[in-house]
Copies of this chain bind each other. A is one copy, B any other.
Amino acid sequence: MCEANAYFNSDGQEVLFMEAVDVIEPYEDGLKLVDIFGRQKFVKARIKDMTLLNHRIVLEETAGFKHDSD
């Protein structure tokens, strides 16, 4: 399985935001993430870097950062 974990980089520390992410797509001024169970999260962030072989996505907050989960 090739899902990845999404982290925020906060003050030099990486904080897990969402596990087992399958889908990432732009949504309004941020991103929509969907995990392998179909759970969605919307976040005002952009991709800072992503290494698929390491299953890692690092997100970076954009202006007006907040996140909501469904």
Contact = CB atoms under 8 A, between A and B. Distances in A.
Interface of A: 1-4, 21-26, 36, 46-53, 55
Chain copies in the assembled complex: 2
Top 8 A-B pairs ranked by shortest CB distance? A2-B2, A25-B49, A24-B50, A22-B53, A2-B52, A23-B51, A22-B52, A3-B52
B3 A26 contact: no
18 contacts: A1-B53, A2-B53, A2-B55, A3-B52, A3-B53, A22-B51, A22-B53, A23-B50, A23-B52, A24-B47, A24-B49, A24-B50, A25-B48, A25-B49, A25-B50, A26-B48, A36-B53, A52-B52
Contacts of A26: 46-49
